[in-house]
């Protein structure tokens, strides 16, 4: 179908409404017709911005991940922003559980690929062991997904336990010493530490940033002794 020459609605507005439909009605409810109805436009108007429904779903997923950003500078320690991004990723999965399957195949769809590449580049510049970067990012994402899906059930921890049948388990949940957020941060920090330590032990401690720094140092030393 030919795209209209003049868009009647903005692409971002269309994606915001599409994301709302996915969150409140389910991803199967999203269609060109349903989105057009919500936007009060003719379905043909949407073809100015999108080729098909799949492109709308991908755009909605990118919008959901909008807050998961790579810093542009080295103004704060890399562990700080990596943990922040892990929290934001968990929040995105928690708020948009129907998009989890879409996000899981995001690389073939191009979702977040540029951000991931920028993240790897910045971590290399921060001299994070190259061998640790991919395992660390993968592990943090997997844990964010699992944590978000567990919490998206909506019940309070331990709410499904009957104290009369499982008194010990119920008491353990009642007296829990850490909140879900505290557990998430603690486990993420352990993931980062363990992956880096393992990578270093296996000889994967070099990084392009460290190699460039060493090369620059050698060049300066050679220049000074020339």
Domains of the chain plus CATH, in order, are 11-64 (1.10.10.60), 78-225 (1.10.357)
Q: Is residue 51 pLDDT above 80, yes or no?
A: yes
Band of the pLDDT at 214, cuts 50, 70, 90? very low
Band of the pLDDT at 33, cuts 50, 70, 90? very high
Q: Is 52 left (phi over 0), alpha (psi -120 to 50) or beta?
A: beta
Q: Is residue 170 pLDDT above 90, yes or no?
A: no
Band of the pLDDT at 157, cuts 50, 70, 90? low
pTM of structure: 0.77
C-alpha–C-alpha distance, residues 181 and 43, integer Å: 42
Residue 2 or residue 89, greater confidence: 89
């Amino acid at each position: 179908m030919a795209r209209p020459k003049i868009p009647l609605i903005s692409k971002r507005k269309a994606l915001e409404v599409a994301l709302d439909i996915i969150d409140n009605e389910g991803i199967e409810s999203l269609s060109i017709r349903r989105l057009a109805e919500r936007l009060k436009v003719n379905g043909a108007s949407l073809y100015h911005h999108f080729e098909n429904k799949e492109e709308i779903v991908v755009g909605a997923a990118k919008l959901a991940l909008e807050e998961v950003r790579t810093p542009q500078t080295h103004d704060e320690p890399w562990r700080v922003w990596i943990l922040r991004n892990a929290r934001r990723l968990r929040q995105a999965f928690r708020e948009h559980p129907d998009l989890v399957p879409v996000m899981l195949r995001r690389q073939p769809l191009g979702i977040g690929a540029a951000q991931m590449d920028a993240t790897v580049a910045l971590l290399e510049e921060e001299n994070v062991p190259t061998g640790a970067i991919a395992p660390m990012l993968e592990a943090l994402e997997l844990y964010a997904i699992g944590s978000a899906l567990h919490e998206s059930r909506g019940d309070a921890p331990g709410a499904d336990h009957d104290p009369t049948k499982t008194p010990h388990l119920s008491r353990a949940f009642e007296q829990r010493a850490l909140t879900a957020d505290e557990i998430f941060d603690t486990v993420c920090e352990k993931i980062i530490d363990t992956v880096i330590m393992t990578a270093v032990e296996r000889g994967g401690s070099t990084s392009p940033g460290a190699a460039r720094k060493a090369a620059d140092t050698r060049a300066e030393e050679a220049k000074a002794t020339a």
